[in-house]
Amino acid sequence: MRDIAIVAFHQSRAVADAGACNEVEMIMPVLNEVYQQVGINNAQDVDFVCSGSCDYLQGAAFAFVAGVDALGAVPPIKESHVEMDAAWALYESILKLRMGHADSALVYGFGKSSPGELPVVLSQQLDPYYLAPQWIDTVSLAAMQARLMLDQGMLTERDMAEVVSRSRRNAMRNPAAQLAGDVSVEQVLAEETYLSPLRKADCCPVSDGAAAMIICTVDKAREWGVPYALITGIDHRIETHNLGMRDLTDSVSTRQAAEGAGVGAGAIDVAELYAPFSHQEIILSRALGLEGSTSVNPSGGVLAGNLMMASGLSRIGEVFKRVVSGEAERGVAHATSGPCLQHNLVTVVEKA
């Protein structure tokens, strides 16, 4: 199988409310940024385009149709879309490159979550007959998961606050972050609970924005003459939707995906984890077998800003940035979908 290189990545600044900025206006700047990084003009200069978005964020069928308007798709282009985080659009694109139907691909994801009540909107991804009618929001489900772990002595509220404190401090070096600051563990613990046992700081903010990436074959990366990192493994797994049948204190599908992606084959310098709630970073770190030597969420992770449908792709992009800068040699990126980490994707990015 052909090696896959990442050659460009950019994420817009996560903002609480992008106001009158529409989806195309959110996407255009990040596309222009990745075009510039490899020195191309538009989507005509890549062989394939794939995006991730969610109609329910926009409140209309076919959110991705507007997205196509950002591409300059005249003459027509080879293009596809997943109703998932753009990390899965990356997965689809990698298959296209591996089968030889493309040598390069543009991948992007976007979400404008601010117009709706995101945790309530996402309740409608639950079983439509038994669960969705109860409108159980995502924060409540995550709170239940955290409570299970606290009750079983698998973590403490201080552990969770440490995740938050580290995220806020790391995010001070991330210009795209929405929430950043020199916040101590004590300051987090002093906050009142929001949905017990979660404090607001334990939950990712609601953000608007977009992210884009360009991948290609190694030959193409050399032709473009730009620095690149290699995707040496990628896998994703889903587990049962029935929360009562899952061990919510563990992420079995993350471990399966990590094994499939070959995470254990070497040391991990950096890990970017899509953990929308502080306790989930702990679950994921354990599932991935991360040790103290790994820098976890140096960007601040999604607690610093969560671009729905793009955050998973951004995790991979954040690892890519650190590998090409020489800050890390080998890193792991994780993306998630569904309630309480139901579906997980793991990518290994390595120095070329």
Partner 1 sequence: MANLAAVVGIGQTKYTTKREDVSIAGLVREAAQNALQDAGLHWDEIDAVILGKAPDMFEGVIMPETYLTDALGCNGKPMLRVHTAGSVGGSTAIVAASHVQSGTFKRVLTVSFEKQSESNAMWALSSPQPFSTHLNAGAGGYFAPIIREYMRRSEAPYNVGIKVAVKDRLHGARNPLAHLQRPDITMKEVEDSFMLWDPIRFLESCPSSDGACAMVIACEELAEQGPKPPAWIRGVAMRSEPTMYAGRDEVNPQAGRDCAADVYRQAGITDPRRDLDCAEVYVPFSWYEPMWLENLGFAPEGEGWKLTLEGATSLDEDGDIPWNPSGGVLSSNPIGASGMIRFAEAARQVRGDAGDHQVKGARLALGHAYGGGAQFFAMWVVGANKE
Position 229 contacts partner 1 (CB under 8 A): no
- Provide CB contacts within 8 A for 32, sequence distance 6+: none
Angle at 205 between CA 84 and CA 248, to 5 degrees: 65
Position 88 contacts partner 1 (CB under 8 A): yes
Q: Is 293 in contact with 89 (CB distance < 8 Å)?
A: no
Position 56 contacts partner 1 (CB under 8 A): yes
| The binder of partner 1 chosen from 16, 73, 172, 189 (CB under 8 A) | 73
Number of C-beta neighbours around residue 156 at 10 A: 11
Position 91 contacts partner 1 (CB under 8 A): yes
Q: Which is nearer to partner 1, 62 or 196 (CB)?
A: 62
Position 40 contacts partner 1 (CB under 8 A): no
Local structure of 309: helix, strand or coil: coil
Stretch that binds partner 1, among 27-35, 198-206, 208-216, 334-342 (CB under 8 A): 334-342
Position 64 contacts partner 1 (CB under 8 A): yes
Stretch that binds partner 1, among 122-130, 214-222, 263-271, 272-280 (CB under 8 A): 122-130
The rounded distance, in Å, linking the Cα atoms of 323 and 328 is 5
In this structure, what token pair is assigned to residue 283? 């679950």
Angle at 289 between CA 283 and CA 292, to 5 degrees: 95
Peptide bond into 298 cis (omega under 30): no
Q: Which is nearer to partner 1, 96 or 279 (CB)?
A: 96
In this structure, what token pair is assigned to residue 296? 């976890």
Stretch that binds partner 1, among 27-35, 216-224, 249-257, 276-284 (CB under 8 A): 249-257
Closest CA to 45 of 6, 14, 15, 73: 73
User: Smallest distance, Å, CB 307 to partner 1?
Assistant: 16
In this structure, what token pair is assigned to residue 147? 């409570």
Position 235 contacts partner 1 (CB under 8 A): yes
User: Smallest distance, Å, CB 18 to partner 1?
Assistant: 12
- Residues of this chain that bind partner 1 (CB under 8 A): 1, 22, 49, 54-56, 58-62, 64-66, 68-69, 71, 73-84, 88, 91-92, 94-96, 98-101, 121-122, 124-129, 132, 235-242, 252-253, 256, 337-339, 342-343
